[in-house]
Amino acid sequence: MRKLNVLKACIDLAFYLSCLTVLAFVLFIPFAILGQMDGIPIKMQGRELIIDNWQGKVVLVFAAVSALFFVYGIYLLRKTIGFFIKKDLFSAEVIRNFNVIGICVVTSTLLMVIPTFLYNAFYRTKMGFKLEVGFDSPLLVISLGLFFMVLSEVFKIAKNLKEENDLTL
């Protein structure tokens, strides 16, 4: 279970760094909404945004909400790994957490991708598809979210099998 401890350390670090990012968002968004950062290109969640109109600000708010969903997902993942360390593998909370993590990851990606795509298409007249390999690809991140939801279902089946095994005398 050494790998589990390494995973916990990585997720902890990612969570604390994400919290710092969210804090930065909270401090930065009022300035952006008030128009003090107009025209400055900002890179959020791997997408570049240039905020020079109110639509851009709406996209920015969506990006901030998306980041909050993502951080909550990381928080739940951290909590779930805590259960694994305590050898509590098939509890109802682990199953629920996996499902919520999946929902958070998918929601976060959609909240980031759809507004950015629409904004770029209608207001920046910049449309196209970018071929990406790695975790910058929204399709892959959505797949990861769906994988967590499937994992939740798999754990639900495993929980039932474990209960059945425990009650076999």
Partner 1 sequence: MPIIVNVDVMLATRKMRSNELAERIGMTTANLSILKTGKAKAIRFSTLEAICEVLECQPADILEYVKE
Q: Where on the chain is the footprint of partner 1 (CB under 8 A)?
A: 163-164, 167-169
Q: Which is nearer to partner 1, 125 or 168 (CB)?
A: 168
Q: In angstroms, what is the minimal distance from the CB of 88 to partner 1?
A: 20
Q: CA torsion angle for 37, 38, 41, 46 (degrees, to 10)?
A: 70
Q: In angstroms, what is the minimal distance from the CB of 163 to partner 1?
A: 8
Q: Which is nearer to partner 1, 14 or 158 (CB)?
A: 158
Please give the Cα distance from 8 to 110 (Å, whole number).
Answer: 27
Q: Which is nearer to partner 1, 126 or 162 (CB)?
A: 162
Please give the Cα distance from 98 to 90 (Å, whole number).
Answer: 11
> Nearest-5° angle of CA 134, CA 80, CA 92?
125
Q: In angstroms, what is the minimal distance from the CB of 92 to partner 1?
A: 18
Q: In angstroms, what is the minimal distance from the CB of 169 to partner 1?
A: 5
Q: Which is nearer to partner 1, 5 or 160 (CB)?
A: 160
